[in-house]
Structures are given as structure tokens and as C-alpha cells.
Amino acid sequence: MSWDRACCARRLGKRKVIAETGAGQHGFATATMAARFGFDCKIYMGAVDVARQRPNVFWMENLGAEVIAVQDGQKTLKDAINECMRDWVTNMEDTHYILGTACGPHPFPEMVSWFQSIIGLEAREQMLTQTGRLPDRVYACVGGGSNAMGIFQGFFDDDVELIGVEAGGLGVGTYMHGARLAYDDASVGVAQGYKTYFLQNDDGNMNETHSVAAGLDYIGINPIFSHLWEQGKVRFEAATDEEVKETLKLTMRTEGLIPALESTHAFVTALKEAPTMAKDEIILINQSGRGDKDIFTIADALDDAKWKSFVEGKSDQYRAERG
């Protein structure tokens, strides 16, 4: 998607690109594109996410991007988007905003969804090639909703159940989560240039959110998904932090896969529901990212003693070398 947006920026005559990122993957992709096309690049990222997604920050900076740690608000994705929009409206003459999720003002939700549709189109073709038929269910994690919109678009016109999995955080009733639709804690509002379901109070102020996954703690959801949910065309569930941790361990040991913490949310619900399905039914799970970027968060969540010892040793070595 970032390469398509690079063509847009070039066609518009822009020389600077900016982007927000939570998990760091969109920022990484944008920085890669900017290096290749010769754009000046700024990546806005909440300070909390900068700390827990340090591997992607390292690559973004070494690709030449300026990573700006946003200190406002909860210091996560919502606040990064706010800062990006402030930059964009101030510098529209020479700057193109490469919004990563399918939210924000028109035409971003539609544009991002269209670019991401290649995921679903290719998945559909591969499924028919490998199995001879379409899947019965498709699962994808949902933060803002870009990866889910991508995979689901390959199956909108088919008799395939589409399940979006949100961040259950600390669980229903705790209000420390990112589940807008699964927990029915959200209400319709307008923020960041668009109307959708937001986790907000009665005065329209945004609530605090939480997720072990940096890309899923966003306060709103793709407005297209809001419509599809109201029409009963997409079902939404939630996976808690604890479920994600246990499912990640299971997936690594039994499948040889290391999904990103965001993607693992989809695995949670898929594996939970699989025993209720017939043996000949087919499940498609969108693994939207790899867990390499989450190494620090995952090691901490799994309480890995060897990793802690390694990090502490490197820290002691660093201090000793610098006096």
C-alpha cells in the first residue's frame, strides 16, 4: 500500500511524506518507500509504542525517517494520528499524509481499504488453488481495521462468514481494552474527521484504552466496518491479553508460526471456535504480521528468564563500556 501511496505523492508533486504508526509496521513500510523514492519522511508514534516496538523504530530511523515520539494523551496510536493530522493541515502544500489505517476523513477509509483489497483477492485465489473451494470462515484482527478490510474484501460477495477480532485487553467490564463492537462499550461519535463507533464517555471525550498489542488499542473503528456490522455482514469478537499470550505459545509450538501480537488475536478466536465446526470446514486466518517486532513485549509477557538475563547483561556491558 505504501508504494501505491508513493505514486500518489509523486503525482501530487509532494516532496515530504508523513505517517502514523502503532505497531510500527506501517511506519516501517512508509520509511522503506520514502528511502526508495527520495521523500523526506516523518513517522509519528506514541511514546509508549516507541518503547514497546523498538525493533521497528530502529529500522525506521536507519532508513532515514525521523521518528517522533508523541507525548500527548495516552501516548499511543490515537495520539500519533492527532499529531500527524496537525502536521498535515499545516503543511499540505508539500506534504502527503500516508494514513495507515482505514479511518480518518474521506477519502482515507475508502482509499486504504481499496489498496489493501489485494490481500483478500490473492488469498481468495490461493484458497481456490489449494483447496478447490472457498473457506467457511475468515478471521482477522481489527484495530482501525485495514488488514481486516483487506482480507475480507476477497469474500464480501460469497457465502463466507467474516469474523473481526478486537483487543479484549484485561477483559469485559474492565474498560481497559480496545473492543468497540465486541464488548458493546462504544457509541457513535465524530473524531479525527470521521463518524463511527468510539470508546468514549457521555461527553464525547475518548476513553483510555489498553491492549498488549500496540496496533489494536485504537479508540475507533473503520466506518465501513461499522456499517457492515450493523448490517450483520461481519461478526466481531474479542481476545484478552491472557488469551493472546497462551495462544501465541501454542501457535509457535504446534504450527511453527510466530504471529505478531495483533495477528494472534485472530488466532485466539479461530482456535476457540474450531472445535465447534465440522472436520471438513475450512478456516482462513490472516496473519497480518510477524512477532519479531514484539520480541521485548513477548519475552516480558512470557516471563522468559534467559531473555531477561541477556538484556540485563547487555545493559551492564553498555554501561561499563561508557564508564
Percent of the chain with pLDDT over 90: 85
Q: How confident is residue 301, by pLDDT bands cut at 50, 70 and 90?
A: confident
- Residue 220 lies in domain: 108-289
Q: How confident is residue 1, by pLDDT bands cut at 50, 70 and 90?
A: low
Are 259 and 136 within one domain?
yes
Q: How many domains does the chain have?
A: 2
Q: Residue 24 phi/psi, 5° resolution?
A: 95, -15
Percent of the chain with pLDDT over 70: 99
Q: Using one digit for the tens of pLDDT, what is the confidence trace for 52-64?
A: 999 999 999 999 9
The whole-number pLDDT of residue 211 equals 96
CATH of the domain at 158: 3.40.50.1100
Q: Using one digit for the tens of pLDDT, what is the confidence trace for 235-283?
A: 999 999 999 999 999 999 999 999 999 999 999 999 999 999 999 999 9
Q: Using one digit for the tens of pLDDT, what is the confidence trace for 194-249?
A: 999 999 999 999 999 999 999 999 999 999 999 999 999 999 999 999 999 999 99
Are 264 and 161 within one domain?
yes
Q: What CA–CA distance (Å, rounded) separates 288 from 120?
A: 12
Q: Residue 193 phi/psi, 5° resolution?
A: 85, 10
The whole-number pLDDT of residue 312 equals 87
Are 220 and 170 within one domain?
yes
Residue at 308 is within a domain: no
Are 51 and 138 within one domain?
no
The whole-number pLDDT of residue 66 equals 98
Average pLDDT over residues 278-289: 96
Q: Report H helices in 13-107.
A: 25-37, 47-52, 54-62, 77-90
Residue at 228 is within a domain: yes
The whole-number pLDDT of residue 245 equals 95
